[in-house]
Homo-oligomer: A and B are copies of this chain.
Amino acid sequence: MPAIKVGVMGAANDALPTEERARLAILAERLGGAIAARGCICLTGATTGLPDMVARAARRNGALTIGISPASSRAEHIDRYRLPEDGAEIIVYTGFGLKGRNVINIRSCDIVIIFGGATGTLNEFTIAYDEGKVIGVLRGSGGIADHIHDVLGFCNKPTTARVFFSSDPEALLDNCLAGLNGR
- A157 touching B91, Cβ below 8 Å: no
Q: Determine whether the beta carbon of A130 is less than 8 Å from that of B120.
A: yes
CB pair A118–B151 under 8 Å, yes or no, is no
Do B93 and A66 have beta carbons less than 8 Å apart? no
A129 within 8 Å of B by Cβ? yes
Mostly, the A contact residues are: mixed
How far apart are the CA atoms of A72 and B129 in the complex, in Å?
14
- Chain B CB within 10 Å, residue with most, of A99, A131, A143: A99
Our pick among B64, B72, B154 for the contact of A97 (Cβ within 8 Å) is B72
Question: Is A62 among interface residues, defined by CB-CB distance under 8 A?
Answer: no
A76-123 contacts to B, CB under 8 A, are 85-86, 89-100, 103-104, 106-108, 110, 118-120, 122-123
Q: Which residues of the other chain, B, contact A68 by a CB distance below 8 angstroms?
A: 92
**30 interchain pairs, CB-CB under 8 A:** A2-B85, A2-B90, A2-B91, A3-B90, A66-B66, A66-B90, A66-B92, A90-B90, A92-B92, A92-B108, A95-B96, A95-B100, A96-B96, A96-B100, A96-B103, A98-B130, A99-B103, A99-B127, A118-B155, A120-B126, A120-B130, A122-B122, A122-B154, A123-B127, A126-B126, A143-B155, A144-B154, A144-B155, A147-B154, A151-B151
